[in-house]
Amino acid sequence: MKYFMGIETSCDETGVAILDENSKVLSNALYSQASIHKEFGGVVPEIASKNHLEKIIPMVEHSLKTAGRHIDEIDTICVTNGPGLLSCLMIGVSTAKALSLLNDNELMPINHLEGHIASCFIENVVDFPAICLVVSGGHTSIYYLEDEINFKEISSTIDDAAGEAFDKGAKMLGLGYPGGIRIDEVSKNANKEFHTFPIPELKNSLNFSFSGLKTSLRYYLEKRGDWEKDINDIASSYQEAIVKSLIAKIKKASLDYKPKSILFCGGVACNSRLREVAQSELTKFKTIFPSKIFCTDNGAMIAMRGIQKKSVSKKKSPLNFPVFSTIRKFKKD
Ligand code: KG4
Ligand code: ZN
C-alpha cells in the first residue's frame, strides 16, 4: 500500500493529512487560525505565517500518529505551492522539502484550486463529464471536467469572490470574521425575501460579479438606519442573492456543457442554503458536495490531488519547484 501526505498552508488553516492510495483518509489534522485573525477582521499574512511555522511540525507528527504511520512509510508528500499568501505557502513548501530531503519521500507541488476540485473525489464517485463550482474566499469559478485529470476553467468572477462577498457583508453587519459561516447561522429561520439585493446578470456569460452586492448592502444599511433589529432577515436576503447568482450560472453552464455530475467545493460550499437550493433545483444531475471538513482548506484534498496526478504521471517533480501567489490557469497535463 502506498501512502500520501497532504500539506496545506496557503491561508489561515494549517492542514496535514494522510491518505492511502485508495483515497481512504487515515488522518486529517487541521488547525484553524480563525480565532486569531478575528480581532483584525481578516487574515493578517505575517501573523498567519508565524502561526503556520509554530504549528506545522506538531501537525505533521499528530497526523502521522493518528494514521499509525511513520514518515518513512510516506511515498509522496503533496504540498500546496499556490495560489495563496506567499509567506504562508513558503512554510508548507519548506517543511515538505525538508521532510523529503531527510526521509527520501517523493515531493509533489499541488495547485490549491486543483486540490479543492479533488476534494469532491474523496468520498464520491463522479460521473463524467462534470462541471465543478469552486467557490471560496479567493475564487469563484466553474470548471468543465472531462475526467479527473483534464479540466478547464469555463467561467470566473470578474471582481470579488463569493466568499469575499460573504465576509465583507458580515463585516458590514457587525457579524464578525469569518463571515460566511456567521451569515449562514443567523439566516436560519429568517426571512430571505425581506429585501431583494440586486446582482448583475452579465447576460450571455457564465461569469460572476459580486462587488456591486456589497455596495448595495452598504447603501441599504445607510439609507435605512436602525436596521439592527432586522439583522437576521437582512443577512438572509443577502445570502439569498449570492446563492441565486451561483445557482443561475451553474444552471446555465449545465445547459451549455450537459454534465452528468455537478460538483461544489471550497469554503462557501459549506453554506446550508446553497446545499438546499442545489439539491432541490438540480435534480436532473448527480450533485456532489464534499463533507464540510473537506470544503474549507485542508490537507486531505491536497493529498487527494496528489493521488490523482500520480495515477497518470510517473515523472518526479524537481526539488526546486517555486511557490506562486497568483491564480494560475489550469493546463491539461
Ligand atoms: O476554501 P476556503 O476555506 O479558503 C479559501 O481558499 O479561500 O474558503 C473560505 C471562505 C470564506 O470566505 C468563508 O466565509 C467561506 O469560505 N465560508 C462560508 C461558509 N463557511 C465558510 N460561506 C458561506 N457559508 C458558510 N457556511
Ligand atoms: Zn481554499
Yes or no: say if 304 and 6 are a contact pair by the CB < 8 Å rule.
yes
pLDDT at 326: 62
pLDDT band at residue 313, thresholds of 50, 70 and 90? confident
143 within ligand 1 shell (Cβ under 6 A): no
Is the pLDDT reported for residue 252 higher than 50? yes
Question: In this prediction, what percent of the chain has a pLDDT beyond 90?
Answer: 87
| Per-residue pLDDT at 13 exceeds 70 | yes
From ligand 1's centre to the CA of 135, what distance in Å?
A: 8
Among 12, 181, 301, name the best residue to mutate to test ligand 1's pocket (greatest count of ligand atoms within 8 A of Cβ): 181
CA of 268 to the centre of ligand 1 (A): 4
Region at 202 (left for phi over 0; alpha for psi -120 to 50; beta for the rest): left
From 130-139, 143-152, 188-197, 309-318, the region with the lowest mean pLDDT: 309-318
In short, whether 179's Cβ falls inside 6 Å of ligand 1 is: yes
Res. 5 pLDDT band, cuts 50 70 90 = very high
261 has a pLDDT exceeding 50:
yes
Cβ contacts of 230 within 8 Å, gap of 6 or more? 194
What confidence score (pLDDT) does residue 121 get?
A: 98
- Give the residue whose CA is nearest to atom 8 of ligand 1: 267
* Grid coordinates given for 253: 453552464
DSSP β-bridge partners for residue 3: 20
Any idea which ligand is nearest the CA of 115? 2
Tens of pLDDT along 55-110? 999 999 999 999 999 999 999 999 999 999 999 999 999 999 999 999 999 999 99
pLDDT value of position 315: 80
Give distance in angstroms: CA of 229 to centre of ligand 2.
33
What is the value of pTM for the model shown?
Answer: 0.94
- Whether the link from the prior residue into 83 is cis, omega within 30° of 0, is yes
The verdict on the CB of residue 298 being under 6 Å from ligand 1 is no
Q: How far apart are the CA of 89 and the centre of ligand 2, in A?
A: 12
For the CA of 167, the closest atom of ligand 1 is 14
Percent of all residues in the chain with a pLDDT value above 70, rounded to a whole number: 98
pLDDT tens per residue across span 152-176: 999 999 999 999 999 999 999 999 8
Distance CA 278, CA 134 (A): 14
pLDDT, average across residues 276-302: 98
Render pLDDT for 170-221 as a digit per residue (tens, 0 to 9): 999 999 888 999 999 999 999 999 999 998 788 889 999 999 999 999 999 9
DSSP state of 314: -
DSSP letter for each residue of 76-118: EEEEEEESS-HHHHHHHHHHHHHHHHHH--EEEEEEHHHHHHH
> Dihedrals φ, ψ of 9, to 5°?
-145, 35
Q: What is the mean pLDDT of the chain?
A: 94
Query: Is 170 close to ligand 1, i.e. is its CB under 6 Å away?
Result: no
- Ligand in closest contact with the CA of 269: 1
Q: How many CB atoms lie within 10 A of CB 3?
A: 20
DSSP string, 13-76: EEEEEEEETT--EEEEEEEE-HHHHGGGTS--HHHHHHHHHHHHHHHHHHHHHHHT--GGG--E
Find the angle CA(198)-CA(271)-CA(241) to the nearest 5 degrees.
Answer: 5
CB of 205 closer than 8 Å to CB of 154: no
Residue 136 alpha carbon to ligand 1 centre in Å: 5
pLDDT interval class at 333 (50, 70, 90): very low
| CA-wise closest residue to 156 among 181, 132, 178 | 132
Whether 325 has a pLDDT exceeding 90, the answer reads: no
Q: Please name the residues in contact with 203: beta carbons below 8 A apart, sequence gap of 6 or more.
A: none
Q: Which atom of ligand 1 lies closest to the CA of 162?
A: 12
Q: What is the DSSP letter of 157?
A: B
Cα–chain-centroid distance for residue 130?
Answer: 18
Q: From ligand 1's centre to the CA of 270, what distance in Å?
A: 7
The mean pLDDT of 233-256, rounded to a whole number, is 97
pLDDT tens for 141-151 read: 999 999 999 99
Considering every ligand atom, which ligand is closest to the CA of 80?
Answer: 2
Average pLDDT over residues 124-147: 96
